[in-house]
């Protein structure tokens, strides 16, 4: 569901090719999004005001506030002059668990460590993923990354948002979600996967951003065995992917990519030919 427009048109004076002209441009909207549980604010994020039910559910899953979607009894979007409140009510056990760690915080775009109070929480051990027997052809993963761009509808209009997508080797693309914040885009994807009744355990998460530790932690929470990203990872992201059992591919461009962890899931062209007896 979209709360208002995700973009608006603004006038600009453009200087291109040594010439100046008056024109206009579509600009991505950015608004405050308050995530509240049982009447109390847990986090305020700056993000794109679209797919906010997905965002609320996905954030709740990837931040370990819930384990299953049905632990959220209800979810409601409350717009106001300052932003949008994603109002969620948890069942009794989850509400009691959250009460012990609840506090209100405010995070800018790109904030991914929300509602934590210690260094131990920031470096929490990632969830271990399954899917040890799954293998992906290298060319298929690269082709999927190349096919993602036309599916980034908001970015085609504004050139200023990130995308997170789910891809399956047999069925192709599942949900694609966009946001001005890369963490928000991944949270929205996580929520969409759950709401569509899918499993992330036999596919790949595709990212149009760099890979930091919290992106790996969030992917691990939904059980994704493979991450493919257009930009480079951080050292801690590589370490966390190794610990989580996630295959991490990054710097995925037209000419290829780098495999940084658990390469057994990636069939490079010569390996595929060898296994086929060629």
Q: What is the pLDDT of residues 15-72, one digit of tens each?
A: 999 999 999 999 999 999 999 999 999 999 999 999 999 999 999 999 999 999 999 9
What residues are labeled active site? 111
CA dihedral 122, 127, 132, 137 (to 10 degrees): -50
The pLDDT assigned to 5 comes to 85
Confidence class of residue 100 from pLDDT cuts 50, 70 and 90?
Answer: confident
Which tokens belong to 10? 């603004």
Mean pLDDT value of segment 198-220: 96
CA distance 179 to 181: 5
* Cross-strand bridge partners of residue 194: none
Q: Which helix (H) or strand (E) holds 190?
A: helix 182-195
Dihedral sign, Cα of residue 44, residue 213, residue 159, residue 194: negative
Question: Phi, psi at residue 248, to the nearest 5°?
Answer: -110, 120
User: Which DSSP symbol is given to 188?
Assistant: H
Q: What is the CA angle 89-97-241, rounded to 5? A: 100
| Coil/strand/helix, residue 209 | coil
How are strands ordered across the β-sheet holding 247-253? Answer: 172-179, 162-168, 204-207, 226-229, 247-253, 256-261
Counting every residue written for the chain, the total comes to: 278
Judged by average pLDDT, the poorest of 98-102, 155-159, 244-248, 258-262 is 98-102
Can you list the alpha helix ranges (DSSP code H) found in 201-268?
213-221, 235-244
Kindly list the distances between the CA atom of residue 240 and the CA atoms of 29, 74, 110, 147, 214, in Å, as whole numbers in the listed order.
Answer: 32, 33, 19, 28, 9
């Amino acid at each position: 569901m979209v709360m208002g427009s995700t973009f608006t048109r603004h006038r600009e004076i453009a200087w291109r090719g040594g010439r100046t002209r008056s024109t206009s441009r579509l600009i991505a909207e950015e608004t405050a999004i308050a995530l509240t549980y049982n009447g109390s604010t847990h986090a305020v994020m700056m993000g794109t005001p679209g797919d906010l039910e997905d965002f609320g559910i996905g954030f709740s899953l990837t931040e370990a506030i819930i384990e299953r979607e049905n632990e959220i009894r209800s979810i409601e979007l409350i717009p106001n002059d300052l932003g949008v409140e994603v109002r969620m009510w948890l069942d009794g056990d989850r509400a009691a668990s959250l009460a012990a760690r609840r506090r209100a915080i405010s995070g800018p775009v790109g904030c991914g460590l929300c509602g934590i109070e210690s260094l131990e929480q920031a470096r929490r051990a990632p969830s271990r993923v399954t899917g040890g027997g799954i293998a992906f052809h290298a060319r298929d993963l690269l082709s999927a990354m190349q096919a993602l761009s036309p599916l980034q509808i908001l970015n085609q209009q504004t050139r200023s948002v990130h995308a997170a997508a789910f891809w399956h080797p047999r069925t192709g693309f599942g949900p694609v979600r966009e946001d001005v914040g890369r963490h928000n885009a991944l949270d929205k994807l996580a929520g969409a996967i759950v709401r569509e009744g899918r499993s992330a355990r036999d596919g790949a998460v595709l990212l149009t951003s760099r890979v930091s530790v919290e992106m790996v932690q969030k992917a691990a929470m939904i059980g994704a065995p493979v991450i493919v990203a257009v930009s480079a990872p951080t050292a801690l992201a590589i370490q966390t992917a190794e610990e989580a059992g996630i295959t991490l591919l990054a710097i995925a461009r037209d000419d290829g990519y780098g495999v940084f962890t658990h390469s057994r899931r990636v069939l490079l062209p010569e390996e595929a030919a060898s296994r086929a007896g060629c």
